[in-house]
A = this chain, B = another copy of it.
Amino acid sequence: MNAQSMPMTVRPEDERATLSEVLRGHGVGPTHQRIEIARALFSRMTHLSADQVLAAVNQRHAETSKATVYNTLKLFVEKGLVREVIVDPTKVFYDPNTSPHHHFYDVETGEITDIDGDRISILGLPALPEGKVAAGIDLIIRVRGAA
């Protein structure tokens, strides 16, 4: 089971256990803090910045430090649980949807919306530079309110 296949609704008493399994399945030892951070991301299935994750976690009950949120988000990226979305020059967003997809980014509101990967084909994708491998492909369509 991976993050994408996690049921959208689970009985509250099962939620922690389910999240623990998701973490373990990605080679991440489950701790209170990591479970809370995973819940913040996966229960919303939306793009959150580090400070939004921190706020969401601490609003609930669990005191979690800034350092742990940053450590954990970096770990989740390494382990493939979430994906970094770099569209806003001021902060990184974390996307719990790790399937191939692209992004609309509203430069005025900061809102990020997914574009399913299979709705787009990219033809003539150039050969990667010598000795390099792909680490991610993201088509970013910046939009703003009509004039």
Contacts and interface: CB of A to CB of B under 8 A. Distances in A.
A27 B106 CA distance: 26
How many copies, total? 2
A17 interface: no
A138 interface: yes
Given A86-B87, A107-B135, A128 B147 contact: no
Interface string A90-107: 011000000000001011
A28 interface: no
A144 B132 contact: yes
B129 A120 contact: no
Looking at chain A's contact residues, is the secondary structure mostly helix, strand, loop, or mixed? strand
Contacts of A140: 86, 136-140
Contact of A143 (B91, B128, B141): B128
Given A89-B86, A135-B142, A139-B137, A123 B126 contact: no
A15 to B, nearest CB: 31
Given A92-B89, A135-B107, A141 B115 contact: no
Interface of A: 84, 86-89, 91-92, 104, 106-107, 113, 115, 119-126, 128-129, 131-147
